[in-house]
Structure 1
Amino acid sequence: MIEILTGIAAGIIGGMGIGGGTILIPALVFFLRVTQQIAQSINLISFIPAASLAVYVHNKNGNIEKNILIPLIISGVIGAIVGSMAAVKLDPSVLKKIFSGFLFIMGIYEIFSKKAAKRP
């Protein structure tokens, strides 16, 4: 049951563009007791269908700036290759600390950022 609830929560957060991994990875590590590398691998696999649907909906609603896609895709693929090679070589406890630090920094940023929301 925890797998289903985790999947739903991660899907909702991922569909919003926040990133379902912020829910999925900690849930897999803490509740289902998988290693950090396995959790991140599962996150990447589950991300594909959820992201595909989210891209379709956001594109349909005109929320994608197509002129910046190619540079983002190319640099994202390069980053994914480098990051996955590094993740496989890192000790799970080190990887967990890096991921935790990233989430902490993003949380602090979100609390203190005062960006005005764009309205059409």
Structure 2
Amino acid sequence: MEGQGALNHPRYSGVTLGLLHGTRPDAMVLCHDLRRTALGLLPQVALPSLRRAIEINEEAARWAEPDRAPRVIGLSVVTAGLGDDEARAALRRLTGETGLPATDVLRYGAGELVPPVRAGLVGSAT
């Protein structure tokens, strides 16, 4: 599932929640843009911490089916505007903060995310 909003976005949260409940994910990869501290066209709306964004998504995923426990299993991070050393340091920092693998899939590929995605596919053929 891919969505253009976020659960904390006042204009698009309903769409994002509908996608989240409709897809019933086994596992989730959270996308994060290092350049953003607030919502694009709503600069007065600060983004939650990455740890809080993970909590919000995991909790909301359980609302429709409380016995399931879908987890965020990795981070897809936009590191545009950073040099290679800075980008790699930021990804290491995020991994350290969250305990989750983090990569910029456009810059470095999705290899870091493949093992946790496969492991998170509950009841699916791998």
Please state which band the TM-score falls in when normalised by the shorter chain: 0.3 to 0.5
Tell me the TM-score normalized by structure 2: 0.33
Could you say which structure has the larger radius of gyration?
1
Tell me the TM-score normalized by structure 1: 0.34
More helix by percentage: 1
